[in-house]
């Protein structure tokens, strides 16, 4: 059995939650050797009925195999966990655009951590990521198409 | 020698420390600083009514820094290229339509914009002064719209292109439209290190005396 652990801010109504839940539900119907667990930071009402386990991100210390963070906050959290053998940061939003403080050097350090592989949603996001942080993504796929990762 | 200056006079602070003078930030009532520190020179950003009253009563030696265009060659100096900051162009300055046309997806240059107030994906936000210097020195060229920023960039040995309304020296590229700006960029990006050095030294020669250090030396 292989595990895919995904860290999100919440599973409330959002494009991220919708695609994440849809794709994991789909994976679970076609692959029985994979278990996906979603760890949330804030509890919310699910936007789609999940056919997978969800739990608070304080439980992430027990995660193993693959772990995917979906925000700067969860990526920092993921770096503190020693269980997963492969760590990804799926850049869902260009979050740095909305930040006004001195985020740049902190984010630069985060994106250049050797243990963190980067996934972007599109070629245009990849171009902007390289332009700003001199970091090329390891994978590019949109809307949580997890079969590309598997 | 003792100098008191407001917090925004970062360049004067660097220069005073470099020259071995005592520096006091004006962060307390002026009379307290006058009694305890007895500065030989006061540097204000602007003079309001209260400061004017204080000056009239004490007859202190003072200057205002507003409108002064000086180069900070202490904070800005050549440093080795940092791969994290490496890029083709750094733009430092206010919002500008010409620069927007260089940025992805309209343009295709590897450009980093340093202006915390300009909300665009290429913006690198707020940086410490050391990192600004690293950023400038890790780029192949700098574009700017202000004289003192151009001078700071030149202090780090960076080829600089002016797009603002200030009057640069005759050796510096001055671009008013996107065609001339692109021509200048494409030319500079293909320069050899010798050509770059010649351009920077020519541009810098006319402004080399306009540094905070030289200014302080001349008035003290």
The answer to whether the Cα torsion of B160, B165, B169, B173 is positive or negative is positive
Q: Which DSSP symbol is given to B48? A: -
ipTM for the predicted complex comes to: 0.80
Contact A35, A2 (CB under 8 A): yes
- Dump the DSSP string for A57-104: GGGGGG--SEEEE-SHHHHHHHHT--S-SEEEEEE-S-GGGG--SS-H
φ and ψ at residue B90, rounded to 5 degrees: -115, 130
A45-80 pLDDT, tens digit per residue, is 988 899 999 999 999 988 889 999 999 999 999 999
Beginning with the edge strand found earlier in the chain, give each strand of the sheet holding B41-44 in spatial order: B22-25, B2-5, B41-44, B62-64
DSSP secondary structure string for all residues of B160-201? EEE-SSS---TTSEE--SHHHHHHHHHHHHT--HHHHHHHHH
With beta carbons under 8 A apart, name residues in chain B contacting A124.
104-105
Tell me if chain A has a CB within 8 Å of the CB of B129: no
Assess A149–B contact: CB distance below 8 Å, yes or no.
Answer: no
Q: Which of B122, B126, B127 sits opposite A132 (nearest CB)?
A: B122
Cβ contact A131–B121 (<8 Å): yes
Query: Residues, chain B, total?
Result: 220
A-B contacts at Cβ under 8 angstroms: 53
Q: Does A128 touch chain B (CB under 8 A)?
A: yes
Residues sharing a CB contact under 8 Å with residue A26, sequence separation 6 or more, in sequence order = none
A2 in B contact zone (CB under 8 Å): no
Q: How many Å separate Cα A52 from the centre of its chain?
A: 16
As to burial, measured by CB atoms within 10 angstroms (0-12 exposed, 13-18 middle, 19+ buried), residue A27 is buried
Question: Residue A26 and residue B155: Cα distance in Å, rounded?
Answer: 59
The per-residue pLDDT for A99 is 67
Contact B104 A134 (CB under 8 A): no
Q: What is the pLDDT along chain B (220 residues), one digit of tens a residue?
A: 899 999 888 899 999 999 999 999 999 999 999 999 999 999 998 899 999 999 999 999 999 988 888 889 899 999 999 999 999 999 998 888 899 899 888 888 999 999 877 777 888 888 888 999 999 999 999 999 888 888 889 898 889 898 877 766 778 888 888 999 999 999 999 999 899 889 988 888 877 788 999 999 888 8
Q: Rounded to a whole number, what is the distance in Å from the CA of B82 to chain A's nearest CA?
A: 11
By the 8 A CB rule, do A68 and A6 touch? yes
> Where is B11: in which H helix or E strand?
helix B10-18
Facing residue for A124 by CB, picked from B86, B105, B131: B105
Residue in A100, A130, A134 nearest the CB of B84: A134
CA closest to B113 among chain A residues: A132
Q: What is the pLDDT of residue A16?
A: 92
* B106 and chain A in contact, CB less than 8 A: no
User: Could you give the CA distance from residue B186 to residue B196 in angstroms, rounded to a whole number?
Assistant: 13
Among B84, B120, B128, the residue with its CB nearest the CB of A108 is: B84
Rounded CA gap, B187 and A117, in Å? Answer: 36
User: Which chain A positions have a beta carbon within 8 Å of B126's beta carbon?
Assistant: 100-102, 104
Q: Where is B142: in which H helix or E strand? A: strand B139-144
Nearest to B102 by CA among B52, B47, B139, B57: B139
What does pLDDT average to in each consecutive run of 10 residues of chain A (150 residues)?
Answer: 91 92 88 90 90 91 91 93 93 80 84 94 93 93 83
B112-150 burial code (b ≥16 CB/10 A, e <16): bbbbeebeebbbbbbbeeebbbbbbbbbbbbbbbbbbbb
Cβ atoms of residues A120 and A129 within 8 Å = yes
A29 in reach of chain B (CB within 8 A): no
Contacts of B190 (CB under 8 A, 6+ apart): none
Tell me the shortest Cα–Cα distance from A46 to chain B, in angstroms: 31
Structure confidence at residue B131 (pLDDT): 92
Residue with tokens 């390891």, as numbered in its chain = A138
């Amino acid at each position: 059995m292989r595990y895919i652990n995904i860290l999100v801010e919440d599973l409330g109504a959002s494009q991220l939650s919708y695609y994440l839940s849809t794709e994991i539900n789909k994976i679970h119907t076609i692959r029985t050797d994979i278990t996906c667990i979603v760890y949330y930071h804030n509890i919310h009402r699910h936007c789609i009925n999940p056919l997978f386990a969800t739990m608070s991100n304080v439980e992430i210390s027990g995660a193993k195999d693959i772990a995917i963070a979906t925000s700067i906050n969860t990526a920092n959290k993921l770096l503190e966990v020693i269980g997963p053998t492969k760590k990804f940061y799926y850049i869902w939003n260009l979050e740095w655009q909305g930040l006004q403080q001195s985020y740049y050097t902190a984010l630069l350090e985060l994106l250049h951590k050797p243990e963190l592989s980067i996934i972007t949603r599109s070629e245009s996001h990849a171009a902007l990521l390289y332009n700003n942080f001199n970091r090329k993504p390891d994978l590019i796929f949109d809307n949580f198409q997890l079969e590309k990762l598997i | 020698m003792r100098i008191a200056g407001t917090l925004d006079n970062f360049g004067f602070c660097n220069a005073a420390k470099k020259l071995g003078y005592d520096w006091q930030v004006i962060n307390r009532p002026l009379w307290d600083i006058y009694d305890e520190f007895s500065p030989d020179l006061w540097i204000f950003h602007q003079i309001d009514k209260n400061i004017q009253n204080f000056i009239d009563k004490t007859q202190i030696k003072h200057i205002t820094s507003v409108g002064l265009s000086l180069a900070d060659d202490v904070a800005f100096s050549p440093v080795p290229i940092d791969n994290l900051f490496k890029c083709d162009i750094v733009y430092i300055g206010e919002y500008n339509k010409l620069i927007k046309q260089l940025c992805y997806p309209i343009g295709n240059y590897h450009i980093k914009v340093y202006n915390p107030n300009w909300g665009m994906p290429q913006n690198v936000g707020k940086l410490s002064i050391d990192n600004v210097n690293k950023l400038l020195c890790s780029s192949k060229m700098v574009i700017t719209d202000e004289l003192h920023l151009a001078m700071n960039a030149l202090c780090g040995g960076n080829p600089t292109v002016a797009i603002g309304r200030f009057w640069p020296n005759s050796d510096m590229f001055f671009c008013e439209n996107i065609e001339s700006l692109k021509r200048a960029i494409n030319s500079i990006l293909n320069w050899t290190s010798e050509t770059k050095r010649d351009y920077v030294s020519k541009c810098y020669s006319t402004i080399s005396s306009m540094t905070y250090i030289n200014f302080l030396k001349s008035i003290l």
